[in-house]
Every structure is written in structure tokens, then in C-alpha cells.
């Protein structure tokens, strides 16, 4: 039997994979808004800034490893990498991140910009006495 380009019998498998990815994506985007921006370099926190109450966008220069530097822009809406000298620009192209747990990653510079959500305890699903 000749190997085909597409096989209709495989569509169910592909549908399940695509559906699982979409659900995963939707779940990761449905979290609470990020309230604190955190920048890690090589696993160490180098910046932690509360976003609520920021009157105007604030820019911070971050020096990464391997000569990579980034400019991080923080505002009440979220955080983004606005400029980088890294050739890949993956972190910059990620754009504005607004949800808790979302991140912009620069692998060559070993830098992660991510948002932390509201501290647990403030917004509980249920309380018992």
C-alpha cells in the first residue's frame, strides 16, 4: 500500500491533538490578570515590580547573559520586552503579556519576564469557618 499525503482516518487523532492544545491554550489565558512583573536571569529574580498603581509606563534595562540586553516596559495593563539586541527577538515578538503565569522568554540571555497573579488568600473560591 502506497503511503499517502493525507489519510482521512487520521483526522480524528489530529482533531484530538488540536483540541487538547486549544483547551490548554484557553486555560492558560483564562487566569487572573497579572499584578506583579518579575524578571529572572539565570533563575535569580533581578526585578520584581507591582503593576497596579503605575501611573505611566516604566522602562527598565536588563542585562542578560551572552551580551544580550533587553528593555522591559511595565504598565498597569501588563509588561512587554520593547527592545532587545538579541538576534532571535522571540521575547520582543511575544508582545504584551497581561495574564498571571504568562511569560516572555529570552533563551540566549537566560531571561524570563513573567507575571504573578494576585496572592492566594485574597480571592478564594470558598471559605470555611
Partner 1 sequence: MRKKAGFAALSGLLAALALTFSMLEGMLPPLPGMPPGAKLGLSNVVMMYAAGSLGLPWAMALAVIKGGFALLTRGVTAGAMSLSGGLLSTACAWAVLKKTRASFALTGMCGAMAHNAGQVLVAFWMMGPAVLGYGPVLILASLATGALTGAVLRVSLPQMERVSGFLVGKRP
Interacting residues with partner 1 (CB under 8 A): 1, 3-7, 10, 13-14, 17-18, 20-22, 24-25, 28, 40, 43, 66, 88-91, 93-94, 101-103, 105, 107-108, 110, 112, 114
Closer to partner 1 by Cβ: residue 49 or 53? 49
| Chain center to CA of 28 | 10
* Count of C-beta atoms within a 10 Å radius of residue 102: 19
Question: What residues form DSSP beta bridges with 56?
Answer: none
- Output the smallest distance, CB 13 to partner 1, in A: 7
Closer to partner 1 by Cβ: residue 70 or 112? 112
Residue with cell 511575544: 94
Helix H or strand E encompassing 26: helix 11-29
Amino acid at each position: 500500500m502506497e503511503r499517502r499525503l493525507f489519510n482521512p482516518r487520521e483526522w480524528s487523532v489530529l482533531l484530538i491533538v488540536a483540541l487538547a492544545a486549544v483547551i490548554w491554550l484557553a486555560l492558560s489565558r483564562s487566569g487572573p490578570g497579572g499584578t506583579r512583573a518579575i524578571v529572572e536571569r539565570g533563575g535569580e529574580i533581578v526585578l520584581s515590580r507591582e503593576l497596579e498603581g503605575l501611573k505611566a509606563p516604566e522602562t527598565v534595562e536588563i542585562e542578560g547573559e551572552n551580551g544580550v540586553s533587553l528593555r522591559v516596559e511595565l504598565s498597569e495593563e501588563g509588561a512587554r520586552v520593547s527592545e532587545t539586541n538579541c538576534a532571535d527577538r522571540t521575547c520582543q515578538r511575544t508582545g504584551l503579556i497581561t495574564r498571571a503565569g504568562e511569560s516572555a522568554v529570552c533563551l540566549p540571555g537566560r531571561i524570563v519576564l513573567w507575571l504573578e497573579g494576585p496572592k492566594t488568600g485574597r480571592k478564594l473560591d470558598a471559605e470555611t469557618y
